[in-house]
Chain A
Amino acid sequence: MSESPAAARSVLYRVCHETLYHYANPVTNARQLAHLQPRSTGWQRVLQSEVKIDPAPGELDGDEDYFGNRVLRFAIDGAHDSLEVIACSEVEVLPHAPAPDSDSPAWRTALAVPTDFHAPGALDIMQYRVGSAQAPLMSEAGAYAAQSFNGNRPWLGALYELTRRMRADFKYDTKATTVFTPVADVLARRAGVCQDFAHLMISALRSLGMSARYVSGYIRNDRAKTSATPGATPSAASGTDPATEALTGADASHAWVSAYCPGHGWVDVDPTNGKIADTEFITVAWGRDFSDVTPLRGVVLGDGGQKLEVRVSVTAI
């Protein structure tokens, strides 16, 4: 099968992720934890990454978390009534996705437990096979996945089919779920957002005994090519110039799934869009589920409400 010209070469992106909190009453003692700077991988080079924070934090510390993601911790002691965090990065993504019909071993190969855990990455295979709070083991999810993973089907083919089937079976609906909706409800309602679909698919794969992890990042939102991409609601911040609108229209962070098979390694698939992730996906961080890689989580002292605004722009440069 011939590859499309777009996937044949690497793509350079500039990604900006703006988070703005408005607090009803001034807050103090804010401590925040950010997963906003993309990690480097075998197919992704981070050329530049910076985070601007307003008000300026009294403490700021960059680190790598347990999963190898870049994490930023910062604290603002004084009273403030808003918090603005703007993370901008330049990232080059190389083609890395296997063609959906490329050869792969029978799917049961993916159930194997590594015999040698000294091998690099071997422990990770088990790390992402056990259930986690937001992507637990669940027989109903396993049964849903088993419709694709059966007989002697090749692993990649089954995985791709599951990805496509989820795209077809589930309705993208921001009203259907909240951040607290368990995957069992997502499965029952057949609706949700990318985060729900990712969690459900991870649950399904793990429940069959395979390894799967949650990937947080961005998707190039080029409507001309992927007009059906859900989540591409126009952003208030999108430019008015029609030439750039198509490329800067993405307005939120995205989530998808990475699944493992010996011989293939980790392959990223996106159940929201029903495709194997390639150069149009920019990876920020991965973990067992969303809670490991929340873009920005924090604790503040305060007694009022808060309003959150998030804007994401992804521009190919």
Chain B
Amino acid sequence: MFASYPVAKARFDELLEDSSRPRVHWRGLHAELVATNPLQIRDRLGAAERQIREIGITYNVYADPKGHDRPWDLDVLPMMISAEEWESIEQGIIQRAQVLNSILADLYGPQALLREGHLPPQLIYGHSGFHRPAHGMQVPGGIYLHAYAADLARSPDGRWWVLADRTQAPSGAGYALENRLIVQRIFPELFQSLRVPHLARFFAALRESLMGFAPRGDGPQLTVLLTPGPYNETYFEHAFLARYLGFPLVEGGDLVVREGRVWMKTIDGLKRVHAVLRRQDDSYCDPLELRADSALGVAGLLDCARRGTVLIANALGSGVLESGSLLGFLPGLCERLRGETLRLPSIATWWCGEKAALEDALERMASLVFKPADPADRFESIFGQDLDAAGRAALRQRITARPERFVAQELVRVSQAPVFTHGGSIGARGVGLRVFAVATQSGYAVMPGGLTRVAGAADARVVSMQRGGGSKDTWISSSAAVDASFSLLRHTVGPQDLVRAGAGITSRVAENLYWFGRYSERCDDTARLLRVALNPALHEAEDEGNALDPLQALARRFGLFGDRADSPASSRLLLTAATAADNPYGLAANLRQLERVAFNLRDRMSADNWRTINQLTRDPLFGKPASLSQALTGLNRIITSLMTLAGFALDGMTRDSGWRLLSLGRRIERLLFQCLALQSALDEGVASGLSWLLELADSVVTYRSRYLSRPEWLPVLDLLVRDAANPRALAFQARGIRDFLGKLEDSFGPCGANEFVAAMAALDALDPEVDLQPESAQLRTTLAALTSACYRVNERLLERFFNHVQSHHWASMGRAPA
């Protein structure tokens, strides 16, 4: 298996200590691999993936909107690190975190480091990450840096170096955990016997520390995870971490500032937020005081931070440390702030904004790599060794013009580690290590392990998380006993957590669930209506009426013809509504609305659910002009998928308030449609027959089993209006809505159940003797009453639960024109 593993040239080999012998801490894994058939490993990988998917933790759950699954980028072989070596990394990381935290405290406080000349003021003042409104904040516990990550690499002489510090909203801890959950299932015995320390404690420390440092008051402690939303590239990690840590996943619009405090908008009303673990960059966090064009932020968040009423991890403004320009100053800063030598050095880096450094860097250009000093200044790294004389001259000119924009960094040939190739053999790739630390009441704690990052190509010069690279789990071979029982996963969750189930549904989620219900039903109604209207068999129906008239009237009232409402209806218009992808009123448009709402609920959707929606919007029906028979086949397919979708909600969702809102959305939409359908039938009158109506209401079979006759008004209306056992009957839906509203009212107070009282009384009062006929005025009044009750309930729900997220916000700035 190791036959193709290459000997390291001019780089450190993690696996081998000489050309054949593995290092001590790799021997266990090495022996296991030698003894195992590669196919077995592949089988285990497959089994682990399935298992993970079943418990809902997988890379593939959060498929992107285009329907492509996220590429599987995990290498199954863990990166091994000896306990002794780890201890020195750990100590180095802790010291670095302390130093960086002290720097933040100084920059956003007295700025003594600038006055004393330990840092050039222009370096900080010119950095786009230095946010002046954050100056003078009261941060709880004096902690600015709660979550810290450092990117490490090992040079050919075996020493570890820091390449970059992540101080703003470090990503990757969730990936590390996912990797662990999978890899430990692939090598279960080995994992046990090597006593690899578990990661769960680190996350528990994160959760408890945030709660411990956070201010208190106004109800139970609440920590939220703030995400920029489902369009963010690492959104799935946010969702995963939120679920694992038990924090509600919120977007800026879910939070509001009142009375100097931060609140989460839930369907139970506002809940005080005490801590915000953010995965959103500094400048986007508060449109009032930071970037005015940010639609993602929370207006007033910075003021709350200033007052110390909320813990924000990491503190706003901590991104100022994410700059290569700072690295060269750290040894001196460590001496000044802690009286210690920096244990874990940074790779040699110079900020060209200093004259001496600039001259030096220009002299040694060929051996250096040039990067932006400010991460906001996006340009690709420039490798001096790649440049010819002209290229070097051009670069020299570019740097001399604006030296403060550049840092020069030495190139490090990173170490190599074994990877499992697709062919089932073992190859080698360059690796780097992202290590994570979290501030606790007793100092910084380091995640025992981390995210090993794998270079995309065998000879890559840089290891990065960018596309093409992969990752590994990281195992520290420990000598100490490991507490294996500790985990934050569901099976260790206590009853106190279960009590919280269903609480904390944000208004945004609730609103999306409601509209998901409405749109999925609207799609179903649309597809059924079009199927009936396009069906040639309809004209052969036994009641021989002209069924197309009421159907076209219904389609027009239902909005399927859009602005062409005045033109004479035709089969052509119906066919277009069914099949044209770009028709803004037809089936495709309704399905797109459904998908849009579903996309906003992605963290609550199972992979199956999401896949079904994807299939719906990308149905071949909408691809090219379809014939009538193709359209009917396509509509059948779509109706089946929509029923599958309805099944997920019925079968797969917990009966909490969110589910109730989803169901309510479905029922309101269906009741509205049924009222509209009956109205059309009554208007077109006796000439049109009733087969189409039964077909539309999916009640043909029931009718035939009850009445061995062709459709007649009395029995049809009884079945579709009064029969409380028929899910398409008005009585069934109205009763359901009233009951659902009653349940919501138990928890949330008046939600509009009374709106249905009068309408339902009218429904009950219908007299079969006289009212189940097309001429009945009473029947028409009842339909109108039900319809307006639906609209009023809809409004009540908007006001009660969603109103505050209905509208968008904007920032306004005047200008000084004089």
- Using CB atoms and an 8 Å cutoff, list the residues of chain A in contact with chain B: 19, 21, 28-29, 31-33, 58-59, 61, 65-67, 73, 75, 77, 117-118, 122-123, 126-127, 129-131, 133, 137, 139, 174, 178-179, 193-195, 216, 219, 230-232, 250-255, 272, 290-292, 294-303, 306, 308, 310
Q: Does B814 contact A (CB under 8 A)?
A: yes
The reply to whether A254 and B818 contact each other, CB–CB distance below 8 Å, is yes
Q: Does B385 contact A (CB under 8 A)?
A: no
Q: Which of A29, A65, A310 has the most CB of B within 10 A?
A: A29
Report the separation of the CA atoms of residues A195 and B256 in the bound assembly, to the nearest whole angstrom.
33
Report the separation of the CA atoms of residues A133 and B290 in the bound assembly, to the nearest whole angstrom.
12
The reply to whether A129 and B133 contact each other, CB–CB distance below 8 Å, is no
The reply to whether B816 and A131 contact each other, CB–CB distance below 8 Å, is no
B434-475 interface with A by 8 A CB criterion: none
7 A-B pairs within 8 Å (CB atoms) are namely A219-B818, A292-B132, A295-B814, A297-B292, A298-B811, A299-B812, A306-B812
Interface residues in B, total, Cβ within 8 A: 43
Are A126 and B258 also in contact (CB < 8 A) when A179-B815, A292-B132, A294-B814 are? no
Q: Does B122 contact A (CB under 8 A)?
A: yes
User: A residues within 8 A CB of B809?
Assistant: 29, 299-302
Are A253 and B818 also in contact (CB < 8 A) when A29-B256, A131-B126 are? yes
User: B residues within 8 A CB of A254?
Assistant: 816, 818
Partner among B117, B128, B136, B812 whose Cβ is within 8 Å of the Cβ of A21? B812
Q: Which of B128, B401, B807, B816 has the most CB of A within 10 A?
A: B816
Q: Does B378 contact A (CB under 8 A)?
A: no
The reply to whether B817 and A117 contact each other, CB–CB distance below 8 Å, is no
The reply to whether B814 and A231 contact each other, CB–CB distance below 8 Å, is no
Partner among A195, A232, A251 whose Cβ is within 8 Å of the Cβ of B815? A195
B106-141 interface with A by 8 A CB criterion: 111, 114-117, 121-122, 125-126, 128, 132-133, 135-136
The reply to whether B126 and A130 contact each other, CB–CB distance below 8 Å, is yes
Are A123 and B115 also in contact (CB < 8 A) when A292-B132, A297-B813, A306-B812 are? yes
Chain A nearest Cβ from B118, distance in angstroms:
10
The reply to whether B121 and A290 contact each other, CB–CB distance below 8 Å, is no
Partner among A58, A123, A137, A291 whose Cβ is within 8 Å of the Cβ of B111? A123
Q: Does B402 contact A (CB under 8 A)?
A: yes
Report the separation of the CA atoms of residues A232 and B818 in the bound assembly, to the nearest whole angstrom.
7
The reply to whether B288 and A31 contact each other, CB–CB distance below 8 Å, is yes
Report the separation of the CA atoms of residues A298 and B817 in the bound assembly, to the nearest whole angstrom.
19
Chain B nearest Cβ from A222, distance in angstroms:
14
B768-818 interface with A by 8 A CB criterion: 804, 806-818
User: A residues within 8 A CB of B288?
Assistant: 31-33, 297-299
Partner among A73, A178, A179, A231 whose Cβ is within 8 Å of the Cβ of B303? A73
Report the separation of the CA atoms of residues A250 and B818 in the bound assembly, to the nearest whole angstrom.
9
Are A67 and B812 also in contact (CB < 8 A) when A73-B303, A297-B288 are? no
Q: Which of A118, A126, A179, A216 has the most CB of B within 10 A?
A: A126
Chain A nearest Cβ from B507, distance in angstroms:
13
User: A residues within 8 A CB of B117?
Assistant: 117
Closest to A75 in B: B300
Closest to A67 in B: B132
Report the separation of the CA atoms of residues A24 and B117 in the bound assembly, to the nearest whole angstrom.
53
Q: Does B299 contact A (CB under 8 A)?
A: yes
Are A193 and B808 also in contact (CB < 8 A) when A66-B132, A118-B115, A126-B121 are? no
User: B residues within 8 A CB of A253?
Assistant: 816, 818
Report the separation of the CA atoms of residues A75 and B300 in the bound assembly, to the nearest whole angstrom.
9
The reply to whether B121 and A127 contact each other, CB–CB distance below 8 Å, is yes
The reply to whether A137 and B807 contact each other, CB–CB distance below 8 Å, is no
User: A residues within 8 A CB of B257?
Assistant: 31, 75
Q: Does B233 contact A (CB under 8 A)?
A: no
Report the separation of the CA atoms of residues A137 and B125 in the bound assembly, to the nearest whole angstrom.
13
User: A residues within 8 A CB of B122?
Assistant: 126, 129-130
The reply to whether A298 and B114 contact each other, CB–CB distance below 8 Å, is no
Partner among B128, B133, B287 whose Cβ is within 8 Å of the Cβ of A66? B133
The reply to whether B817 and A299 contact each other, CB–CB distance below 8 Å, is no
> Apart from A66-B135, A193-B817, A193-B818, what 4 extra A-B contacts exist at CB < 8 Å?
A31-B300, A130-B125, A194-B816, A299-B810
Partner among A28, A32, A193, A301 whose Cβ is within 8 Å of the Cβ of B816? A193
The reply to whether B133 and A65 contact each other, CB–CB distance below 8 Å, is yes
Partner among A194, A301, A303, A308 whose Cβ is within 8 Å of the Cβ of B814? A308
User: B residues within 8 A CB of A230?
Assistant: 818
Chain A nearest Cβ from B132, distance in angstroms:
4
Closest to B297 in A: A299
User: A residues within 8 A CB of B401?
Assistant: 139
Q: Does B259 contact A (CB under 8 A)?
A: yes
The reply to whether B804 and A29 contact each other, CB–CB distance below 8 Å, is yes
Report the separation of the CA atoms of residues A195 and B817 in the bound assembly, to the nearest whole angstrom.
6
The 9 residue pairs across chains A and B that have the minimum distance between CB atoms: A231-B818, A130-B126, A299-B299, A303-B807, A66-B132, A126-B121, A179-B815, A252-B818, A254-B818
Chain A nearest Cβ from B218, distance in angstroms:
16
Q: Does B260 contact A (CB under 8 A)?
A: yes
Report the separation of the CA atoms of residues A300 and B289 in the bound assembly, to the nearest whole angstrom.
14
Report the separation of the CA atoms of residues A67 and B125 in the bound assembly, to the nearest whole angstrom.
13
B645-681 interface with A by 8 A CB criterion: none
The reply to whether A296 and B814 contact each other, CB–CB distance below 8 Å, is yes
The reply to whether A179 and B818 contact each other, CB–CB distance below 8 Å, is no
User: A residues within 8 A CB of B126?
Assistant: 130-131
Chain B nearest Cβ from A310, distance in angstroms:
6
User: B residues within 8 A CB of A216?
Assistant: 816
Closest to B126 in A: A130
Chain B nearest Cβ from A137, distance in angstroms:
7
The reply to whether B812 and A298 contact each other, CB–CB distance below 8 Å, is yes
Chain B nearest Cβ from A304, distance in angstroms:
9
User: B residues within 8 A CB of A66?
Assistant: 132-133, 135-136
The reply to whether A290 and B402 contact each other, CB–CB distance below 8 Å, is no
Report the separation of the CA atoms of residues A302 and B117 in the bound assembly, to the nearest whole angstrom.
48
The reply to whether B816 and A299 contact each other, CB–CB distance below 8 Å, is no
The reply to whether A310 and B115 contact each other, CB–CB distance below 8 Å, is no
B123-174 interface with A by 8 A CB criterion: 125-126, 128, 132-133, 135-136
Report the separation of the CA atoms of residues A133 and B818 in the bound assembly, to the nearest whole angstrom.
21
Closest to B256 in A: A29
Report the separation of the CA atoms of residues A296 and B300 in the bound assembly, to the nearest whole angstrom.
15
Partner among A59, A129, A195, A294 whose Cβ is within 8 Å of the Cβ of B259? A59
Are A301 and B815 also in contact (CB < 8 A) when A31-B300, A292-B132 are? no
User: B residues within 8 A CB of A301?
Assistant: 804, 807-809
Chain A nearest Cβ from B812, distance in angstroms:
6
User: A residues within 8 A CB of B121?
Assistant: 117, 123, 126-127
User: A residues within 8 A CB of B816?
Assistant: 193-195, 216, 252-255, 290, 295
The reply to whether A290 and B815 contact each other, CB–CB distance below 8 Å, is yes
The reply to whether B813 and A179 contact each other, CB–CB distance below 8 Å, is yes
Chain A nearest Cβ from B351, distance in angstroms:
13
Chain B nearest Cβ from A92, distance in angstroms:
22
Are A303 and B299 also in contact (CB < 8 A) when A117-B117, A130-B122, A179-B813 are? no
Report the separation of the CA atoms of residues A33 and B136 in the bound assembly, to the nearest whole angstrom.
17
Report the separation of the CA atoms of residues A24 and B808 in the bound assembly, to the nearest whole angstrom.
14
User: A residues within 8 A CB of B303?
Assistant: 61, 73
User: A residues within 8 A CB of B812?
Assistant: 21, 297-300, 306, 308
Chain A nearest Cβ from B111, distance in angstroms:
7
Chain B nearest Cβ from A69, distance in angstroms:
11
Report the separation of the CA atoms of residues A133 and B813 in the bound assembly, to the nearest whole angstrom.
15
